[in-house]
Chains A and B, each alone.
Chain A
Amino acid sequence: MSNKVIIYSFHTQKSKKVAEKIIEAFGNENIVAVNAEELTSEIFEKNDHFILSAPTWFDGELPNYWDEFIPELEDMDLSNKTFAVFGLGDQQGYPENYCDAIGILVEVLEKCGATIVGKIPAGGYTFESSRALRGDHFVGLPLDQENQAKLTGERVKRWVEQLKIEMR
């Protein structure tokens, strides 16, 4: 199977809306939505392409549903699978940890052998530091519904176009 799977918490509001935009941008083809709060390792075993939602909580933490899944995730072999991570953060309120969760999750995925796609140039953002930043690129798609909500639509569209190529 080569279905694309998008994983996000169905209980969220802002992340959920962004996830729906992503699904829409993919044209509703071959993309399955999975609730991150009911995640099992089986989902990862059975699919090849993943889009994960990792909003940043507090001063740079993963949400519980990811944090509690990580011990399970760490044991998996994710070679030959591609992952793209997006996440919401707040550049003004939490500039020291802007979208850290994307970086934390990507680090774990990389240790499992995953291929990370959907890296984007870091221009157009204003923050102090981010674990999602490597050189002049983010390792995923950071979004900011608090301060740059107007840019989200375009950013998502562009990102999905990139993923369509990188996840072939």
Chain B
Amino acid sequence: MNELEIPRIYSIKTTDKETLRKWLYLMIIGRAIDDKAPNYLKQAIGWSYHAPYAGHDGIQLAVGYHFEKNKDHIFLYYREMLTAMACGMTAEEIILNGISKATDPSSAGRHMSNHFAKPEWNIHSVSSSTGNHTLHAVGVARAIKYYGEKAVAISGQGESSVSEGYVYEAFNGADKEQLPVIFVIQDNGYGISVPKKDQTANRKVANNFIGLKHTRIIHCNGKDVFDSMNAMAEAKRITIEESKPVILQANCVRIHSHSNSDDHLLYRNEMERNYVQDYDPLGKFRRLLVRYNRFSEAEIEEIEQEARAELKLAHKAAMSAPDPSPESIYDFVLPEPYVSEIYPDGLHNEHGEKKKLITGLNETLKAEFRHNPDTFIWGQDMANKDKGGIFNVSKGLQKEFGEKRVFNAPIAEDFIMGTANGMSRYNDKIRVVVEGAEFADYFWPAMEQYVDTSHDYWRSNGKFSPNIVIRLASGGYIGGGMYHSQNIEGSLASIPGVRIVYPSFADDAAGLLRTAMRSRGLTMIMEPKALYQDPKAATVIPDDFEVPFGKARVRKEGKDITVLTYGNTTHLCIDAANKLEHEGFSLEVIDLRSLVPLDEETILKSVEKTNKVLIVHEDKVFGGFGGELAAIISDKAFNLLDAPIKRVGSTFTPVGFNRILEKAILPNAEKIYKAAKDLLDY
């Protein structure tokens, strides 16, 4: 391939002395910390994870130097200590992160050491899942482009993480949308001990992406300050002036082991260990400064002394900084949600025309898009003329709000989720709604981003809240089979940091969606797709209806059994309760609406009255959310129970396609009726 001609803006002979001094100072103090970090572990102070950057100095200095805080957005991977310092983070801040202090600006000691961040400057909090923030960079670049800012998103990673599928998703998406993002690949030839040849056939991994239509690929010598500076300057110019993505691969050396849990003596011979030392970027920079008479040895010695003095003070200050308190662990799991003043319990007495569940969702989406101009939605099969999602829930949105706010995503669930996370990093006003997958059980490829996003608010110590609503069409009763009929909330509910709601009726679907779209934080709405068009789920919906999280709704009052349910099975429970009513029994059917947070108060109040509990959901009994409900009730209300807690749900099998199989697997009114009868016999 033809290499891009890179203008030579910086060189040893022309760059001004003040700039050279600044660079040298950063390189010297950075390296001093890089070398000192393992001592904190040896002295049992902390910093148990340190990935030394020595050998990456040129490119890291260049990346940080080109970052403009509060304007550009940057995502550093765990080896980017010098980038962090070149972005402006101080030696003290680096050590605070290393030894996990409460005043660590990255995470207040919550996240692993060497994960440098300062969200208030747009140095974003990142995952340990290497390369996953490429998707976040794409998302925030989408916002940069949408809002017309002359800024850039920069994402750093090692060459091995380019093997991850989601990195391809990020590169492809950035290319398709022509976004101002620079993907910097710092290539030191190893993924821990795994050599590059075991990752991909192409030594220059960036060249795996030469087919991308709009993306520019630049190679540079990451060990050389000037080559790296010129490459970054050109990359930034291309992204900002031409709005094209750039993949910049910088060749580096890894002078030390991968981290302090790795020993490179086990897999690198002496010759290799020696020659990577010979190619130490700091050594080369110093030699150039002296050779071309830009600095004398005495001047360099003076800078070294200055750096040593700063490091000493930084160390002292960090050591005396407070540790995080154990009481703080529950802070910032989820932000406080939007508070409904008109419908504090999520109930209404409106009369009039009933609307279907799908209509409730569609009209609420439109109303909220009108309410907040910084609202966006994307997903698969989402927006093409009259088509709005696989079930047409978002029909008409693109026509009214345009292609920049309502658009199709590539068939890449992790991309859908990851760019939602990234775009919401741009500012706190933005609300992103995603159709996470065509059907809920296609969501699994997005789990990587889902889990990561669930950490964000806690991990950043409340500095970044991903303000996202994920909509998923869930459940069966449509003869859909696997990937089209299953429930996944039992698996998802075990992950903290996400609200999970699962309405059964049109009004609640509308009210929960509105609350979710007005709240900060991550909310998952499971939509029972079998009820989208079903008249039995249709209700009157007040135009401004809101349902708070964690408020269950008693759908039928009773005194003999408390039935806890949600989604499709709410209707089946009501049917069973009606049947039993004719037999003289009264069941109290509680529609949970919200699984996380859970309305324990309403549940326990009902159990106090009925002393018997039947839990019904569509998901599998084994490992389903009902197990958690049963455990809570056993723990908090054992004395109130007159019978064992009974559960009805799917069999511990996949959901079959043939209607006969589906019927045998999913719960129905008859199965619920029988279980209730058993309970009544106690």
Contact = CB atoms under 8 A, between A and B. Distances in A.
Given A64-B279, A96-B202, A96-B203, A59 B284 contact: no
B224 interface: yes
A68 B204 contact: no
A58 B279 CA distance: 10
B292 interface: yes
A96 B204 CA distance: 8
A40 B529 CA distance: 78
Interface string A69-85: 00110000000000000
Contact of A68 (B219, B278, B288): B288
Nearest to B202: A96
Nearest to A13: B271
B411 to A, nearest CB: 32
Contact of A64 (B12, B13, B284): B284
Contacts of A146: none
Contacts of A64: 278-279, 284
Contacts of A72: 291-292
Given A58-B251, A59-B251, A67 B224 contact: yes
Given A58-B251, A59-B251, A64-B278, A71 B12 contact: yes
A47 B224 CA distance: 30
A94 interface: yes
A71 B202 contact: no
Given A58-B251, A64-B278, A64-B284, A71 B204 contact: no
Contacts of B203: 59, 94, 96-97
B207 A71 contact: no
A61 interface: yes
Contacts of B292: 71-72
Interface residues of B, number: 20
B221 interface: yes
Interface residues of A, number: 13
A119 to B, nearest CB: 21
Interface in B315-372: none
A71 B11 contact: yes
Contacts of A58: 221, 251, 253, 279
B287 interface: yes
A68 B12 CA distance: 10
A68 B284 contact: yes
Contacts of B207: 96
Contacts of B219: 59-60
Contacts of A61: 221, 251
A113 to B, nearest CB: 19
A111 B221 CA distance: 21
A96 B217 CA distance: 15
A160 B174 CA distance: 52
Interface in B202-219: 202-204, 207, 219
A41 B11 CA distance: 19
A71 B290 CA distance: 13
Contacts of B11: 71
Contacts of A96: 202-204, 207
Contact of A71 (B13, B187, B278): B13
A96 B224 CA distance: 21
B254 to A, nearest CB: 12
A68 B291 contact: yes
Counting chain B CB atoms within 10 Å of each CB, the highest count among A64, A67, A94 belongs to A64
A59 B278 CA distance: 16
B490 to A, nearest CB: 48
A59 B224 contact: no
Nearest to A69: B291
Interface in A46-66: 57-61, 64
Nearest to B271: A13
A41 B288 CA distance: 15
A61 B12 CA distance: 18
Contacts of A71: 11-13, 288, 292
Nearest to B197: A93
A93 B515 CA distance: 59
Nearest to A62: B221
Interface string A21-62: 000000000000000000000000000000000000111110
A96 B202 CA distance: 8
Given A59-B204, A96-B207, 8 more contacts: A57-B279, A61-B221, A64-B279, A68-B287, A68-B291, A72-B292, A94-B203, A97-B203
Interface of A: 57-61, 64, 67-68, 71-72, 94, 96-97
19 contacts: A58-B221, A58-B251, A58-B253, A58-B279, A59-B187, A59-B203, A59-B204, A60-B219, A61-B221, A64-B279, A64-B284, A67-B284, A68-B284, A68-B291, A71-B12, A71-B288, A72-B292, A96-B202, A96-B203
The 8 closest A-B pairs by CB, nearest first: A58-B251, A71-B12, A59-B251, A59-B203, A71-B13, A61-B221, A96-B203, A59-B204
